[in-house]
Amino acid sequence: YTFKQETLPQLREEYIATGDVAYLHGDFPIPVSDWSQPAAMAARAVQAEAGMEAFWDYSEALYANQGELDYTAFAEIADGIEADVDGATIEEMVRDEQTWPVVEDSKTTAEDAGVTGTPGVLVDGQFVEPEQERAYVDVIRETIDQAL
């Protein structure tokens, strides 16, 4: 959550908004709860139904409600965002694991690049390893600058 709230906005302003870097979001559900994997599938179901802007809105709502997730919550959150999404459809897509291949492929790609947890950042396909003595955003900046 810190990455999304603090690090990503800095990178967006410095690199993404300028067009120097493209940002691609990948799924990497970790087993912090039984609902991590279904939550990723729900977000991808919203994307499939209503596009990336709805995906981001839904993802934000998932983070805000992460302690209360279940199938009903996936539907209610979908009904509560400002997109033309039917909560019952999202719930059904998650229960049927319709978007699992997208989530699984994303996680496999990340694991193949060396990612073991979140956040995991790849620059030109290479995993940017966090360092204890430096802020992750600074390590990412240095890696991006070297790649540019």
**Average confidence score pLDDT of the chain:** 92
Query: Mind listing the pLDDT tens digit for each residue in 32-42?
Result: 888 999 999 99
Residue, of 20 and 125, whose pLDDT is higher? 20
The pLDDT score that the predictor gives to residue 134 is: 86
As a whole number of Å, the end-to-end CA separation of the chain is 27
pLDDT band at 51 (very low <50, low <70, confident <90, very high): very high
What is the DSSP secondary structure assignment for residue 23, as one 8-state letter? -
pLDDT surpasses 80 at 59:
yes
The pLDDT score that the predictor gives to residue 117 is: 85
pTM of the shown model: 0.83
Q: What is the DSSP string of 35-53?
A: THHHHHHHHHHHHHHH-HH
Residue, of 47 and 126, whose pLDDT is higher? 47
Interatomic CA distance for residues 21 and 15, integer angstroms = 5
Question: How many CA atoms does the CB half-sphere of 145 hold within 13 Å?
Answer: 7
Query: Mind listing the pLDDT tens digit for each residue in 71-107?
Result: 999 999 999 999 999 999 999 999 999 999 999 999 9
CB-based contact 49:91 (threshold 8 Å): no
**Cα dihedral value 101, 105, 108, 114, nearest 10:** -150
What is the DSSP secondary structure assignment for residue 57, as one 8-state letter? H
What mean pLDDT do residues 139-144 have?
A: 94
Interatomic CA distance for residues 123 and 117, integer angstroms = 16
User: What six digits make up the tokens of 53?
Assistant: 């802007």
CB-based contact 136:119 (threshold 8 Å): yes
Interatomic CA distance for residues 85 and 54, integer angstroms = 8
